Amino acid sequence: MADPRPNPRFIVSEFADDPDMRELVAMFLDEMPDRIGMIEAASREGRVGDLRRLAHQLKGAAGGYGFGVVGEAAGRLEEALTAEASGSEPSADLVAIRAQVEELLDMCRSVRARASG
């Protein structure tokens, strides 16, 4: 199993050395710019429900393609947005949520099939 972070600038798929997964990981990476754009737009436009849905989808997909750390970050964002929407806690710190969105976007921009790019 490949180290998911051999280069601190990149997040590498756990399946980097798995020839059976190469094409699937490539498809996931090809879709990443669209995912990033949708997350950015939902965040910028304050569409919390859409942002939560996108985080949920990314949480599920990222791990399946060997990007567990991205899935974990998406899961944390989804939880924060769910807590904010439910009002079950005092209002979540919106600054912290924005920071989580930016952290997730940075991670999404850093995903690679292999350490070399």
Lowest model confidence (mean pLDDT) among 19-23, 40-44, 86-90, 107-111: 86-90
What pLDDT does 8 receive? 58
What pLDDT does 2 receive? 47
The CATH number of 17-110 is which of 2.30.30.30, 1.20.120.160, 3.90.550.10, 3.90.1150.10? Answer: 1.20.120.160
Tell me: the pLDDT tens digits for 65-75?
A: 999 999 999 99
φ and ψ at 111, to 5 degrees? -70, 140
Where in the chain are the domains? 17-110
Please tell me the pTM assigned to this model. Answer: 0.84
